[in-house]
Structure 1
Amino acid sequence: MKQVITFGEIMMRLSPPLNQRLGQASSLDVTYGGGDANVAAGLAHLGVPAAHVGCFPDNAVGQAAAQHFRGHGVDMQHCVFRGERLGLYFLEVGASLRASRIVYDRADSAFANLQPNWFAWDKILQDAGWLHWTGITPAISAAAAQATGEAIAAARHRGLTVSADVNYRRNLWQYGQRAQDVMPALVAGCDLVVCTEGDAEDLFGIRPEPGTENSFVSMSEQLQARFPTIKQVIATRRDTQSASHERIKGIAYSAGAYHETDFFDINPVVDRIGGGDSFISGFIYGQLTGLALPAALAFATAASALKHTIVGDINLVTAAEVEHIVAGNTSGRLLR
């Protein structure tokens, strides 16, 4: 199986222990994560060869972040170490009626200051079969957006499958270019996208047809008409009961057919960060292992549900554990 390559920023995550608020904390737990890299790590745990490409500060903190992902089986050989600063985010984990909260401190990071010519994409992609990126990466800086476009162009030239979680983060686009002007050209190079109706409207001006029976189908049909390379559109539906109780299901549109899974009930939620990344990594795994679309969607949704039970950004589950959940074993009974 050929490598899956991801491209994007990795940050240090700092979080108070035991559901404390930031104002209570006398210590902070440290881990590392990033939307694209989380996908690579999730795939590595599922047994898929995965590599991540990014830029880290040339110091002990940058080395620690890279080593964290190496420890999860991700190939980091194509990463660049230049600059002085690793982006941070502070996570206050909510409970019951109190929502979780994130504070970002990522301005002027090494990744934001990267130069596109630091990445030789033809060489990076020579052993790869798939490229994945998220809408967070081109939002960070004009140079990161350019590098994303060059990676997509090289991947298409080499015949790789390209996927994206469009993941519109309005507050990230601060460098003078609008997401609505940048993202269409990038999405035009994708075979598979994770996209909700809200993201489609915000980024592409696509709205479900009035009176349509299924808004996701209407959106997906318009998205595929505008971007003919897109063959599959997937997303999750959430029924949030509280910060500690979530219900999710997977939905997909491909080849004129709509698919959805049953809801997975997650109670209590331990850590919701990385749930979307686990969804796409599970779907990529399903595609690479030859699962039919409904089975790949069920696998992806079960992988995402399991991530909600694991502390940290990365989904530390095996394919067998996901398949156990897909088979209906959701009681949480002790396994001996």
Structure 2
Amino acid sequence: MQNKVLAFGEIMLRLSPPYFKRFSQATSFDVTFGGGEANVAVSLSNFGIPVDYVTRLPNNDIGDACIRYLKQFGVNTNKILRGGERIGIYFLENGASARPSKVIYDRAHSAISNAKPEMFNWELLLEDVNWFHWTGITPAISQNLADICLDAIEVAKSKGITISCDLNYRSKLWKYGKNPSDIMPELVKDCDIAIGNEEDADKVLGIKAPDTDISSGILDPEKYEYVVKEMHKKYPNLKTTAITLRGSISASHNTWAAILYNNQKLFISPHYDITHIVDRVGGGDSFVAGLIYGFLNFNEDYQGQLMILLIKF
């Protein structure tokens, strides 16, 4: 069977003041669409990997525009459910110099957040794929979506489909009375691959790198060896764990590195200095897509995978 990936989650309308203006200065907004899982789907399609995207969108002109957006990148949208009243929105104020970016969510009662488990026939949706990708954003939205994620994971596991999860902690979500520690362990335990950034394992799974200060903007990859090893002890089904380490010097100047742990071996990427950043949103999603691409194309050469995905990022 040809490699095919299915990504599941919420795609939103993204509204940003142009020219690095602040929200308080905005008189218009640039419009596009985005979401963690959708970003991965688009990147994989750009890399030549067949990919399905599953979500729920309202049956109106905005939902149609969102589907057209995905189609222009070659993402298969035939499995998207239609219904509900609205699409989720996020407002993005792009950072500049020492001013960080700012995000405001308007996603309550979106079509996907009001979805129910019985709407998704995962036996059918996963019929022709061999990789399922989800993120910790989705179960953070509602209990129903946490249940839908669990249903998808259980079916994927029964079919022998590779399951990847980007832990993706979002402090502005998890508003329905549950903490990540109440939900995420049950979802992560059947995953084959887990990906996170410098704070996800701490916030989501309670595993923290020793002697680290994220606020310093300087991150030592070797300190995160403890994190990936503890994740594998706690979740023995995991075959591979990857951690991205992004230091922030300014809104337009970041550092970037990554580690990958597999078969009791640790691989560390080079340290990259990235300047003149125009839009940093989705950088982690690009990393995930590169990692999936690497696994689908480079067999056992994990250091090679890490190099390839960082080049693609």
Paired letter, 2:98: L
Does the CA-based 8 Å contact 1:48-1:285 persist in structure 2?
Answer: yes
User: Which residue of the partner structure matches residue 68 of structure 2?
Assistant: 67
Shift, 1:161, TM fit: 0.5
Per-residue CA deviations over 1:20-61 (Å, capped at 9, x if unaligned) read: 222222221100011011101100000000011001112111
Q: Distance in 2 between matches of 1:186 and 1:201?
A: 16
The alpha-carbon distance between structure 1 residues 227 and 49, as it changes in their structure 2 partners (threshold 3 A), is: same
SS in 1 for 2:267: strand
2:304 alignment partner, one of 279, 285, 295: 295
User: Which residue of the partner structure matches residue 269 of structure 1?
Assistant: 277
User: Which residue of the partner structure matches residue 3 of structure 1?
Assistant: 4
Query: Normalised by the size of structure 1, how large is the TM-score?
Result: 0.86
Does the CA-based 8 Å contact 1:248-1:301 persist in structure 2?
Answer: no
Structure 2: state its 5+ residue gaps.
213-220
Shift, 1:278, TM fit: 0.3
Does the CA-based 8 Å contact 2:180-2:205 persist in structure 1?
Answer: no
Q: Distance in 1 between matches of 2:206 and 2:307?
A: 30
Per-residue CA deviations over 1:55-80 (Å, capped at 9, x if unaligned) read: 11121111111221111111111111
Does the CA-based 8 Å contact 1:3-1:49 persist in structure 2?
Answer: yes
Does the CA-based 8 Å contact 1:2-1:127 persist in structure 2?
Answer: no
Does the CA-based 8 Å contact 2:4-2:130 persist in structure 1?
Answer: yes
Q: Distance in 2 between matches of 1:22 and 1:170?
A: 20
Shift, 1:116, TM fit: 1.1
User: Which residue of the partner structure matches residue 260 of structure 2?
Assistant: 252
Does the CA-based 8 Å contact 2:123-2:155 persist in structure 1?
Answer: yes
User: Which residue of the partner structure matches residue 92 of structure 1?
Assistant: 93
| 1:170 and 2:171 matched | yes
Q: Distance in 2 between matches of 1:151 and 1:225?
A: 24
Structure 1: state its 5+ residue gaps.
305-336
2:244 alignment partner, one of 231, 236, 260: 236
Q: Distance in 1 between matches of 2:117 and 2:146?
A: 9
Q: Distance in 2 between matches of 1:58 and 1:65?
A: 11
The alpha-carbon distance between structure 1 residues 180 and 65, as it changes in their structure 2 partners (threshold 3 A), is: same
Does the CA-based 8 Å contact 2:196-2:244 persist in structure 1?
Answer: no
Shift, 1:234, TM fit: 0.4
Map 1:200-211 onto structure 2 (within 5 A).
Answer: 200-208=201-209
Q: Distance in 2 between matches of 1:205 and 1:92?
A: 30
Identity %: 41
Shift, 1:170, TM fit: 2.7
Moved more, 272-281 or 236-245: 236-245
Does the CA-based 8 Å contact 2:37-2:134 persist in structure 1?
Answer: yes
Shift, 1:210, TM fit: 8.0
Shift, 1:197, TM fit: 5.6
Does the CA-based 8 Å contact 1:250-1:300 persist in structure 2?
Answer: no
Does the CA-based 8 Å contact 2:13-2:34 persist in structure 1?
Answer: yes
Q: Distance in 1 between matches of 2:272 and 2:151?
A: 38
The alpha-carbon distance between structure 1 residues 19 and 197, as it changes in their structure 2 partners (threshold 3 A), is: closer
| 1:33 and 2:34 matched | yes
User: Which residue of the partner structure matches residue 44 of structure 2?
Assistant: 43
Paired letter, 1:276: G
The alpha-carbon distance between structure 1 residues 203 and 150, as it changes in their structure 2 partners (threshold 3 A), is: same
Map 1:151-162 onto structure 2 (within 5 A).
Answer: 151-162=152-163
User: Which residue of the partner structure matches residue 81 of structure 2?
Assistant: 80
Shift, 1:125, TM fit: 0.8
Q: Distance in 1 between matches of 2:144 and 2:163?
A: 20
SS in 2 for 1:171: coil
SS in 1 for 2:225: helix
Q: Distance in 1 between matches of 2:248 and 2:311?
A: 17
Q: Distance in 2 between matches of 1:197 and 1:32?
A: 26
Aligned CA-pair RMSD: 1.7
Q: Distance in 2 between matches of 1:198 and 1:25?
A: 32
The alpha-carbon distance between structure 1 residues 236 and 154, as it changes in their structure 2 partners (threshold 3 A), is: same
Map 1:281-320 onto structure 2 (within 5 A).
Answer: 281-290=289-298, 292-304=301-313
Q: Distance in 1 between matches of 2:211 and 2:98?
A: 35
Q: Distance in 2 between matches of 1:202 and 1:273?
A: 20
| 1:221 and 2:229 matched | yes
Paired letter, 2:92: L
